[in-house]
C-alpha cells in the first residue's frame, strides 16, 4: 500500500486515462491495482496485489524507481501487508 498527499481530481483523471490506454506497466507484475481517492482531502491510497514474493520485489523496485512526476502525488508512506482475509462478490 502506498499513500499519497496532494492528489487532485485532475491527476486521478489523468491516471485513469493513462491506465485505460496503456494498461499495467510490464515491470510491475501485479495481479490487481486499486487506487482509492479522497478528492476533498487530496489524498490517495494505492493498493497493489502481487501473487508471489518475487513479483512483489520486482514491483516494489519498479515503483521505488518511478519518477515523482509519474506518481499520483507526494508519497507519504509505503507499507507491505499480507492478505489475511479477502471476500469478493
The mean pLDDT value of the chain amounts to 90
Is residue 26 one of the residues assigned to a domain?
A: yes
- Write the CATH number for 48: 3.30.70
Q: CA 6: distance to chain centroid?
A: 15
Residue 83 in any domain: the answer is: no
In a domain, 85, yes or no: no
Q: How many domains does the chain have?
A: 1
Question: What average pLDDT does the segment 74-86 reach?
Answer: 90
Q: Quick check: 15 pLDDT over 80?
A: yes
Q: Please report whether residue 84 resides in a domain.
A: no
- C-alpha span between 75 and 55 (Å, rounded): 21
Query: Which residue segment(s) compose the domain that 50 sits in?
Result: 2-78
Rounded CA gap, 37 and 54, in Å? Answer: 28
Amino acid at each position: 500500500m502506498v499513500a499519497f498527499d496532494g492528489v487532485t481530481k485532475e491527476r486521478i483523471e489523468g491516471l485513469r486515462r493513462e491506465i485505460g490506454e496503456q494498461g499495467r506497466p510490464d515491470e510491475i507484475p501485479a495481479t490487481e491495482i486499486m487506487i482509492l481517492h479522497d478528492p476533498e482531502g487530496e489524498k490517495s491510497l494505492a493498493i497493489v496485489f502481487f501473487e508471489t514474493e518475487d513479483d512483489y520485489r520486482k514491483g516494489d523496485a519498479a515503483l521505488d524507481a518511478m519518477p515523482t512526476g509519474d506518481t499520483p502525488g507526494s508519497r507519504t508512506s509505503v507499507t507491505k501487508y499480507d492478505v489475511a482475509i479477502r471476500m469478493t462478490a
